[in-house]
Amino acid sequence: MSKRSKEKRTMPNRDPNNWQWLVNVIPYLMLSAATFTVGFVSVLHNGGPWTRALMSATMGTILSLSLYPVFLWVAAYYELPEVFAFAPCVFLSIMGVEWVRSKADGLYDVFIAFIKKWLR
């Protein structure tokens, strides 16, 4: 009797799961590149230094990446294409971190006023 040789898997680098992972990640990579570029250019265009542009673009990208699944859910809820979730993320990056911070401060002030009124 001859020994059975181990059967080698043919072309292990051709696993379709690898390509599916890449296809699933492409929208997030495109969103990261678009929001970072738009945020960086918008701050430089408004006359800010490049360090502020770098910080604002990074924060805008992080904010957009964290809110992208929410916008995807809204697009699916209203039966819109997934591309419609891309636009609000880029809009947040254009408006910048200062705009988001001012809106959050305003919302915080309203919330604190409501709590103070409710506790009286």
Residue 112 belongs to some domain of the structure: yes
Q: Could you tell me which residue, 59 or 2, shows the higher pLDDT?
A: 59
What are the φ and ψ backbone dihedral angles of 48, each rounded to 5 degrees?
-80, 160
Range of the domain at 103: 49-120
Spatial distance between the Cα atoms of 81 and 92, rounded to a whole number of angstroms: 20
50-93, pLDDT tens digit by residue? 999 999 999 999 999 999 999 999 999 999 998 999 999 999 99
Q: Number of folded domains in the chain?
A: 1
What mean pLDDT do residues 108-118 have?
Answer: 94
Residue 117 binned pLDDT confidence (cut-offs 50, 70, 90): very high
What mean pLDDT do residues 15-37 have?
Answer: 89
Residue 55 belongs to some domain of the structure: yes
Residue 12 binned pLDDT confidence (cut-offs 50, 70, 90): low
